């Protein structure tokens, strides 16, 4: 089996939330899947990564997390994921998976794709630099549109509030434990890890969620632990690219503060009466010029009216 994922950066094995879900889950059960970092998402049936392909067998490619977990469970891996859980715990895992999807996913998507500053500083730049022109433009635009569609009816503040509450609840639920259920990681740990790792590691200028997440030490420890045990970084160029991104983000923050300061100064002065007069005169002049030009008004000189004579 082969798992195609987006390449990693910022000390993460992949930059994409769903890819991290798949990756963490398969690492938890020590599955012999080969990981392929790829930048050709058009090969996937949904046009997105991750996708798990069985090159030898005839099975369909898997893009759905639940199906992927099912596949890992049934295909006799060394460790059966979610194996030692009671039915009630399994039921809770299903519920929390929905909880994350409803409360955390919109905010994470908004932070990465819908927030203009973050999008232009980081997300757009990262994806376009990995993909080749002109497909990159099409891809980011399509993906952004899709995210914007799913967020269309949501109030941003409410969404952020939900996400912050969700982080608090996850923090309370985790407590001082190593993982959410027992001392072995479950599929829920993979899901939580996916969202939190991206929030924690990807450098963003608008970092409301990041700041809040850093204030939950047990969640931060949880992410670091999973990275260090299951997904150790092998990237040697880390520090160099880190400084690049840091300066980029710092610049964006500066810009934002500058633009936030500006509009207050400009507000006061507007002169409706002067503008109205100027507009009125302008419209009149233009109409007159047009009328004269197109011959609707003729400035007539006296003309002799000759009889019509031919030859």
Query: Is 269 exposed, middle or buried (CB count within 10 Å of its CB: 0-12, 13-18, 19+)?
Result: exposed
What span, in angstroms and rounded, lies between the C-alpha atoms of 274 and 276?
A: 5
- Contacting another protein within 139-198 (CB under 8 A): 146, 149-150, 153, 155-158, 160-161, 164-166, 168-170, 172-173, 175
Question: How crowded is residue 163: how many other Cβ atoms within 10 Å of its Cβ?
Answer: 24
What span, in angstroms and rounded, lies between the C-alpha atoms of 140 and 126?
A: 10
Beta strands in the chain (DSSP E): 2-5, 34-37, 51-53
Exactly one of 91, 137, 250, 289 binds another protein (CB under 8 A); that residue is 91
| Residue 94 interacts with another protein (CB under 8 A): yes or no | yes
Stretch that binds another protein, among 1-9, 27-35, 207-215, 222-230 (CB under 8 A): 207-215
| Residue 280 interacts with another protein (CB under 8 A): yes or no | yes
CA 33 to chain centre: 27
What minimum distance in Å lies between the beta carbon of 87 and another protein? 5
| Residue 247 interacts with another protein (CB under 8 A): yes or no | no
Between 212 and 248, name the residue whose CB sits nearer to another protein: 212
Stretch that binds another protein, among 31-39, 61-69, 124-132, 241-249 (CB under 8 A): 61-69
CA 37 to chain centre: 19
Decide if 118 contacts 205 (C-beta within 8 A).
yes
Contacts of 53 (CB under 8 A, 6+ apart): 1, 2, 3, 4, 61, 62
Exactly one of 178, 184, 212, 248 binds another protein (CB under 8 A); that residue is 212
> What is the DSSP track for 185-253?
--HHHHHHHHHHHHHHHS--SS-HHHHHHHT-HHHHHHHHHHHHHH-----SSHHHHHHHHHHHHHHHH
Exactly one of 265, 266, 304, 311 binds another protein (CB under 8 A); that residue is 311
What minimum distance in Å lies between the beta carbon of 254 and another protein? 12
Whole-Å CA distances, 263 to 24, 137, 167, 206, 251: 46, 31, 34, 20, 20
Exactly one of 59, 64, 141, 243 binds another protein (CB under 8 A); that residue is 64
Between 78 and 211, name the residue whose CB sits nearer to another protein: 211
- Contacting another protein within 219-238 (CB under 8 A): none
Between 165 and 241, name the residue whose CB sits nearer to another protein: 165
The two beta strands, 2-5 and 34-37, are parallel
| Residue 43 interacts with another protein (CB under 8 A): yes or no | no
| Residue 287 interacts with another protein (CB under 8 A): yes or no | yes
Whole-Å CA distances, 161 to 107, 168, 267: 9, 11, 31
The number of residues that bind another protein (CB under 8 A) is: 65
Binding site for another protein (CB under 8 A): 46, 63-64, 66, 87-88, 90-92, 94-96, 98-99, 101-103, 146, 149-150, 153, 155-158, 160-161, 164-166, 168-170, 172-173, 175, 206-208, 211-212, 253, 256-257, 260, 272-273, 276-277, 279-280, 283-284, 287-288, 291, 296-297, 305-311
């Amino acid at each position: 089996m082969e798992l195609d994922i987006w390449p990693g950066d910022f000390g993460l094995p992949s930059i994409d939330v769903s890819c991290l879900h798949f990756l963490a889950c398969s690492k938890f059960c020590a599955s012999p899947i080969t990981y392929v970092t790829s930048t050709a998402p058009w090969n996937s049936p949904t046009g997105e990564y991750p996708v798990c392909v069985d090159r030898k067998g005839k099975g369909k490619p898997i893009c759905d997390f639940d199906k992927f977990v099912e596949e890992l469970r049934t295909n006799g891996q060394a460790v059966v994921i979610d194996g030692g859980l009671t039915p009630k715990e399994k039921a809770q895992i299903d519920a929390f998976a929905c909880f994350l999807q409803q409360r955390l996913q919109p905010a994470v998507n908004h932070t990465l794709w819908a927030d203009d500053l973050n999008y232009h500083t980081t997300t757009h730049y990262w994806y376009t630099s990995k993909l080749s022109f002109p497909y990159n433009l099409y891809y980011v635009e399509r993906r952004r549109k899709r995210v914007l569609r799913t967020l269309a009816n949501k109030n941003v503040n409410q969404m952020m509030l939900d996400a912050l509450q969700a982080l608090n609840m996850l923090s309370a639920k985790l407590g001082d434990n190593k993982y959410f259920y027992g001392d072995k990681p479950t599929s829920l740990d993979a899901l939580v890890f996916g969202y939190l790792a991206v929030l924690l590691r990807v450098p963003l200028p608008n970092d409301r969620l990041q700041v809040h997440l850093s204030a939950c030490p047990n969640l931060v420890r949880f992410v670091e632990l999973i990275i260090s045990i299951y997904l150790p970084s092998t990237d040697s160029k880390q520090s160099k690219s880190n400084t690049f991104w840091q300066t980029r983000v710092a610049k964006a923050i500066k810009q934002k503060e500058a633009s936030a300061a500006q509009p207050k100064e400009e507000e006061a002065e507007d002169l409706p009466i002067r503008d109205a007069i100027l507009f009125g005169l302008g419209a009149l002049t233009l109409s007159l010029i047009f009328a004269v030009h197109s011959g609707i008004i003729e400035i007539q000189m006296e003309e002799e009216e000759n009889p019509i004579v031919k030859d």
